[in-house]
Amino acid sequence: MKKAVLIMILTLLLSVVAAGCINGSNEKEETLIIFHAGSLSVPFKQLEDEFAKYAEENLGVKVKFQDEASGSVKAVRKVTDLGKKADIVAVADYTLIPQLMVPNYTDFYVLFATNEIVIAFTEKSRYADEINPDNWYEILARPGVTFGFSDPNQDPCGYRSLMVMKLADYYYGKPIFEALVEKNTNIHYNGSLIVAPKEIQVKNDKVVIRPKETDLTGLVESGSLDYFFIYKSVAEQHGLKYIELPEEINLKDFKMADYYGKVSIHIGSTGKVIKAKPIVYGVTVPKNAPHRELAMEFLKFLLSEKGRDVFKANHQDFIWPPIAFGNVPEEIKDEVKVEG
C-alpha cells in the first residue's frame, strides 16, 4: 500500500515538472533595448506596459525593456560613436536620424509625433502671477530670477530653446538673445547663426543647464529654479504651470517653417548646423538591432492606433498617419505613409 502511494506521488511530481517544462518552452523571454528622448519617458512607459501584455498574449513572448532616456543627440551618438546596440532609437528631432545614422546605422526612419516649446514654472516661481506671452523675456531677465534649458550639445530641447530666444529677437524687436543667453553663457550669435561651443560655460547662477530637459523638472518643482524651457507635453504630464509662446517662435506651426528657418545653430558636439524647423519626433530600428523581429513588432505597435491613443492620453500630438522615409520595412508599411 505504501509503495503504491509513493508511486502515485512520484507520478504526480513528474507530471507537474513535465507540464512546467512544456509551458516554459512555449514562452520566450526577450529584452528590448530602447534609446529614447527624455521627453518620451512617460508615453513610452505606458506604451511598453501595453505592448508587453500584447506580446505575451499574441506573440508568446515575455518582453522586458532596457530603457535609456537621454538627450536625442546623445541617444544617436551612443550608436554612432560608442558602438552601443539598440533595438529602437526614438528622438525628439527626426533630422538627427538622416543626418547622423543614415546610411551606415539605419536605412529608414518614421516621423510620428509633434510638440511645441513652452516656459514652465510653479506657483513658487518668482513673478509667477505676472508672467505672460508678452513679457516673459522681461521676467526672465529680472534680478534674482533663475531659468534653465537643456544642453544643446546633447538635447534638441536645448538647441530649440536657443532658437526660440533668437526668434524672439525678430518677433518682439528687442535684443532678447543677448540679454538672456550671451550675457549669461558662452553661447553666442555670430551674425549668421547661433554657436553652441562643445564646452558650454555658464557665467553666473542665473542660468542652469542640464543634459536633458527632464533633468530640470525636479528643480522647478522644488522651487530651486524659477522657469525652464520645455516641451508642452512634458509640462502637462508633470502638472506644471506654463505659458504658451506665439506661433512665430514656439516651433509648433508647420505654416511658419520658412520664418523659423531664419535661425540656425552650430552644435559643437557634432560639428553640424541645424536649421530651426517645426518640432517632429522620429524613430528607427538600427541595422544591428539585437532583437530586430521583436523591435519591428514594437515599432508597428507604436505606429498603430494604440500608439496614437497612448500619446493622446499623455498630451502629445501624434502624426496620423505616421510618415516613413527610406527603405521602409514591409512589417510597418500598413501603418505608415511612405514618402521616400
Hey, which residues does 29 pair with through a beta bridge?
62
* Residues 230 and 213 sit within 8 Å (Cβ to Cβ): yes
**Cell 503504491 appears where?**
4
Q: For 139-171, how does the pLDDT look when each residue is reduced to its tens digit (9 = 90+)?
A: 999 999 999 999 999 999 999 999 999 999 999
> Phi/psi of residue 207, each to 5°?
-110, 135
- Torsion angle in degrees (nearest 10) through CA of 97, 100, 102, 106: -70
The model's pTM is 0.91
Distance CA 308, CA 112 (A): 9
Residue 23 burial (10 A CB sphere; 0-12, 13-18, 19+): exposed
Domains of the chain: 28-113+279-338 (3.40.190.10), 117-274 (3.40.190.10)
Cross-sheet strand order for the sheet of 227-231: 207-210, 147-150, 227-231, 117-121, 241-244
Beta-carbon-side half-sphere exposure of residue 97 (alpha carbons within 13 Å) = 27
Question: Is residue 2 pLDDT above 80, yes or no?
Answer: no
Find out whether 111 and 249 touch, Cβ atoms under 8 Å.
no
Rounded Cα distance between 248 and 164, Å, is 9
Region 236-244: what's the mean pLDDT?
98
Cα-Cα-Cα-Cα dihedral sign, residues 289, 295, 296, 299 = negative
Q: Can you read off the three cell numbers belonging to residue 254?
A: 508647420
Quote the pLDDT of residue 53.
98
How confident is the model over 40-82, as pLDDT tens digits? 999 999 999 999 999 999 999 999 999 999 999 999 999 999 9
Which residues lie closer than 8 Å to 240 by C-beta, 6 or more apart?
Answer: 120, 121, 122, 217, 220, 221, 230
Residues 6 or more apart whose CB falls under 8 angstroms from that of 338 comprise: 324, 325, 328
Average pLDDT for 311-320:
98
Amino acid identity of residue 247, one-letter, is: E
127 phi-psi bin (left φ>0, alpha ψ -120 to 50, beta other) = left
Query: Which amino acid, residue 266?
Result: H
Q: Which three cell numbers stand for residue 107?
A: 536605412
Encode 176-204: b = buried (16+ Cβ within 10 Å), e = exposed. Answer: bbebbbbebbebebeeeebbbbeebeeee
Structure confidence at residue 40 (pLDDT): 98
Q: What is the pLDDT of residue 340?
A: 76
User: Across the chain, how many H-helices and E-strands are there?
Assistant: 12, 16
Q: What three-state secondary structure class fits 267?
A: strand
**Per-residue DSSP letters for 63-115?**
EEEEEEEE-HHHHHHHHHTT----SEEEES-TTHIIIIITTTT-SEEEEEEE-
* Interval 13-24 mean pLDDT: 44
Model confidence band, residue 10 (pLDDT cutoffs 50, 70, 90): very low
